[in-house]
Amino acid sequence: MAFEPVLSRNFDVPGAASIETYRRRGGYKAIEKALQMGRDGVVEQVKTAGLRGRGGAGFPAATKWSFLPPNRTTTYLCVNADESEPGTFNNRYIMELDPHLLLEGILIAGYATRTSVAYIYIRVEYHKAYRVLQKALDEAQAAGLFGEKILGSEDFSMQCYIHRGAGAYVCGEETGLLESLEGNRGWPRIKPPFPAVAGLFGKPTVVNNVETLACVVPIIERGGEWFASIGNPPTSTGPKLYTISGPVNRPGCYEAPLGLTVRDLVYGEAYGGGMLDGRTLKAVVPGGLSVGFLTAGELDCKLDFDDPRKYGLLGLGTAGAMVIDEATDMRQVLLNVARFYATESCGQCTQCREGTMWIYKIAQRIAAGAGRIEDLDLITEITATMGMMTGRSICGHSDGAAFPLRTLIAKFRGEFEDRIHSQGDVAEALAAQ
């Protein structure tokens, strides 16, 4: 059976961002169907579908919704459109090219969770996406899709607002996002309590990624079983919007079932289309920076929720692949990665704040031509102390730092050693730094 794209079905349709075109192509039928199915029916379909969050952690969506306390009066839905993980831009495609798909997903999820207000937290750099989405939201509101008694239903009223971020990676972390929405510094909160119990303004809250919510629409249209038959069931079901960038022929956003191999994503005619100008591939970061690095010998890695772990990676992440070619000096890559996590750490946890900064300083030394072989072990040792997985951090930022740094050193150690052995006068390099 040929794979039929559903998340990107409107991407090439001219004017798809308008409500008329979206409707003409069958849009806003799923919310009507959902209202007929009832709340439990919607949750049941999402559960059957096996839909797992697309924002990075892969948590099952229906399970997350089921954590909401039954006797609540207010529920918030926060749509995570902060999308700041380097290499990731599929949420942007949805919002720029098919904004009503997201809005319909919000309506269905909002209905299922008895949401009273939905906030779309969008990163400020997405100017175009913001303006296209705001227009779509205005259209949907005018059509009675948001507001009181939606589509004539007796028990479903929901408001929706777009809230712009202000340039902080950590606000993509769900509790950092909530703090930011409340007008505070985007400091992630200690969990528990989880947002489902005490989230925005202390009320039960669901945080879901843009793509996760977009997936809800085809699930209602075609049924949970259809969704569950795509990809690598039972753990990795459904279609995925992969992104690929770096020196390849066709950088962009492509839909395929979960489980696409990195090789297909980079070299497939329908995807990355191979290396640009005959360059040679050296490394791939397959899932957004935080998952870590693969070597040219590891391209059989399947991009689903399980396989990346076998390659020492954090997980699927966002399935945003970044390709690195032979000509790139891995010391510069190390410097870039180390700088990212050091400058984006919110500073609450000692291991994250100090550890990322130490590694950044060491990386600066190595890049300047004053590295020592012991530095490589030192970096590895520091990464082993960081993260929620070691029980020392409030959020996953420092796990996300540890994986790329550790895999970079471990998998490209030979190059680092060669460069350190062949570097010039260390005293001169240090003086020049």
Partner 1 sequence: MAWPVINRQEQAAVPGAEPLLSERVKARITAFFDRYETKRAALIPALHVVQDTYGGVSLQAIKEVAALLGLAPAEVYDTMSFYSHFWAGRRGRKVVVVCRSLSCQVLGHERLLAALKEHLKIGEHETTPDGEWSLMTEECLGACEHGPCMLINERLHARVTPDDVPRILADPDCDKVDLPAGASPQPEPKEKRGGV
Ligand X SMILES: Cc1cc2nc3c(=O)[nH]c(=O)nc-3n(C[C@H](O)[C@H](O)[C@H](O)COP(=O)(O)O)c2cc1C
* Residue span 356-395 as binding mask against ligand X, x where in contact by CB under 6 A, dash where not: ---------------------------------------x
Give the Cα separation of 224 and 218 in Å (integer).
9
Please state the closest distance from residue 279 (CB atom) to ligand X, in A: 30
Instruction: Tell me which H or E stretch contains 69.
Output: none
* Token output for 182: 């409340």
Q: Candidates 143, 166, 190, 373: give the one binding partner 1 (CB under 8 A).
A: 166
Task: Single out the residue of 111, 146, 156, 169 in contact with partner 1 (rule: CB under 8 A).
Answer: 169
Using alpha carbons, list the distances in angstroms from residue 9 to 4, 220, 256, 399, 422: 9, 16, 12, 35, 52
* Closest CB to partner 1 among residues 45, 91: 91
Q: How far is the CB of 234 from partner 1 (least distance, A)?
A: 32
CA separation, residue 16 to residues 6, 145, 203, 218, 429 (Å): 14, 18, 35, 17, 55
Residues 53-72 that bind ligand X (CB under 6 A): 53-57, 59
Residue 126 interacts with partner 1 (CB under 8 A): yes or no = yes
- Closer Cβ to ligand X, 31 or 314, answer by number: 314
- Binding-residue pattern over the window 384 to 413 for ligand SF4, x denoting contact by CB under 6 A: ---------xxx-xx---------------
Token code pair at residue 433: 């730094």
Q: Which residue, chain included where needed, has tokens 């794209």?
A: 5
**Looking at this protein, which amino acid is placed at residue 122?**
I
Q: Count residues binding ligand X (CB under 6 A).
A: 23
Q: Which stretch binds partner 1 (CB under 8 A): 56-64, 134-142, 146-154, 419-427?
A: 134-142
Cis peptide before 69 (omega within 30 of 0): no
Among 155, 269, 347, 433, binds ligand SF4 (CB under 6 A): 347
Integer-rounded Cα Rg, in Å, for the chain is 22
Check if the beta carbon of residue 195 is closer than 8 Å to that of residue 75: no
Determine the Cα–Cα distance for residues 189 and 240; give it in Å rounded to an integer.
29
Token pair 């689903």: residue:
304
The DSSP code for 188 is P
Site membership for partner 1, residue 361 (CB under 8 A): no
Residues 325, 91 contacting (CB under 8 angstroms):
no
Regarding 179 and contact with ligand X (CB under 6 A), the answer is no
Binding mask 99-118 for partner 1 (x = CB under 8 A): ------------------x-
State the nearest-atom distance from the C-beta of 289 to ligand SF4, in Å.
Answer: 14
* Residue the block writes with tokens 């489902």: 196
Site string for ligand X, 255-294 (x = CB under 6 A): ----------------------------------------
- Residue numbers of the site for ligand SF4 (CB under 6 A)? 170, 188, 345-349, 352-353, 393-395, 397-398
